[in-house]
């Protein structure tokens, strides 16, 4: 059974969320409204109440899809969305977190999501041209106006977290985190714990790698962003599959799927961590939800750590242009 976890001081969500990006953006085809609506309704049946989208996904069409699908469940779900890109003629031309832009995006997102207030509004990427205090101050105003309920940050470093939090308490930080990418453990997680900020890992399945379904024969279409990600290049993928073999071995021992080991591991790290694996398939959704029933003992976690410490991950997690936008 999927239980609840708390992000920040008072945002209660299901312990696993659903990342909706791949339904309309980033992983190839754009999926139709009907099957994706069925998928989101199935997620709610399973106990998932936390849904993640963003203005840039599409752009716009992912928010519209989520808004339409979740309309009947308005007060039962938490929808997170994001601002921070400058979108012209349907394409991102850079970053923009100026206060007037944040307000403009908030109004447009409210309409697309068909809600009265945005539950969790993340800055998608830090805009180096706009002081983070101005961003946090604008969100503070939007919260006072009743248009936004909670403030989030994505892919930011420790200094930015502290500066933003001093102006408007940050409810959640979103960043990549998985057995495959553990960098947040070094500095980010200790600061989140200190400040009482929740952590929402995206790509907790390593962009699909930790499902055990990707191997050296897998090819990615041109409109699948993994085709540009260095860690998925032919040479790096061969090396990185050694980690997947380890996860598969643990899955065999626990009589579960590799993806469930990967998610159970993330959930076991801290009680204020809520991963948001994405999928477009109902069987994968059920598999991911089932991860909450996989129990990893302290001994299991130690064993996993020991084996992983001997494996070096090959390749960056983003193409160079995207990597530049990460504030670390």
Distance, in Å, from the CA atom of 78 to the CA atom of 70, rounded to the nearest integer, reads 10
User: From the candidates 27, 57, 122, 177, which is the catalytic residue?
Assistant: 57
The DSSP-derived string for 217-283 is T----TTBGGGG-GGGSHHHHHHHHHHHHHHHHHHHHHTS-HHHHHHHHHHHH-TTB----B-S-HH
Tally of residues, the chain: 328
Verify whether residue 57 is a known catalytic residue: yes
* Short-list 220, 302, 254, 259, CA closest to 26: 220
- Looking at the DSSP bridge assignments, the partners of residue 12 are 6
Pairing of strands 50-52, 78-83: parallel
Q: How many CA atoms lie within 13 A of 266 on its CB side?
A: 34
User: What are the catalytic residues?
Assistant: 57
């Amino acid at each position: 059974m999927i239980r609840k976890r708390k992000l920040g001081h008072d945002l209660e969500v299901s312990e696993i969320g659903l990342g909706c990006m791949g339904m309309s953006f980033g992983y190839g085809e754009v999926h139709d409204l009907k099957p994706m609506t069925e998928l989101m309704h199935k997620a709610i049946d399973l106990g998932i109440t936390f849904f993640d989208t963003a203005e840039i996904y599409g752009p716009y069409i992912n928010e519209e899809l989520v808004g339409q699908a979740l309309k009947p469940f308005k007060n039962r779900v938490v929808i997170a969305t994001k601002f921070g890109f400058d979108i012209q003629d349907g394409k991102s031309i850079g970053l923009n977190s100026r206060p007037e832009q944040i307000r403009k995006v908030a109004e447009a997102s409210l309409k697309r999501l068909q809600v009265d207030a945005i539950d969790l509004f993340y800055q998608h990427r830090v805009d180096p041209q706009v002081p983070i205090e101005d961003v946090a101050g604008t969100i503070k105003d939007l919260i006072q106006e009743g248009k936004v309920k909670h403030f989030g940050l994505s892919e930011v470093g420790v200094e930015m977290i502290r500066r933003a939090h001093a102006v408007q308490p940050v409810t959640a930080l979103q960043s990549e985190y998985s057995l495959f990418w553990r960098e947040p453990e070094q500095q980010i997680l200790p600061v989140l714990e200190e400040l009482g900020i929740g952590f929402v890992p995206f790509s907790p399945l390593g962009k699909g790698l930790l499902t055990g379904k990707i191997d050296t024969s897998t090819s990615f279409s041109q409109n699948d962003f993994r085709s540009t990600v260095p860690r998925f290049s032919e040479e790096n993928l061969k090396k990185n599959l050694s980690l997947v073999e380890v996860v598969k071995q643990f899955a065999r021992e626990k009589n579960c799927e590799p993806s469930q080991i990967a998610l159970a591991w993330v959930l076991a790290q801290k009680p204020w961590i809520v991963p948001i694996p994405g999928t477009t398939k109902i069987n994968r959704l059920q598999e991911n939800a089932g991860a909450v029933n996989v129990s990893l003992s302290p001994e299991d976690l130690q064993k996993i750590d020991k084996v992983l410490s001997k494996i070096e991950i090959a390749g960056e997690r983003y193409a160079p242009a995207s990597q530049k936008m990460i504030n670390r």
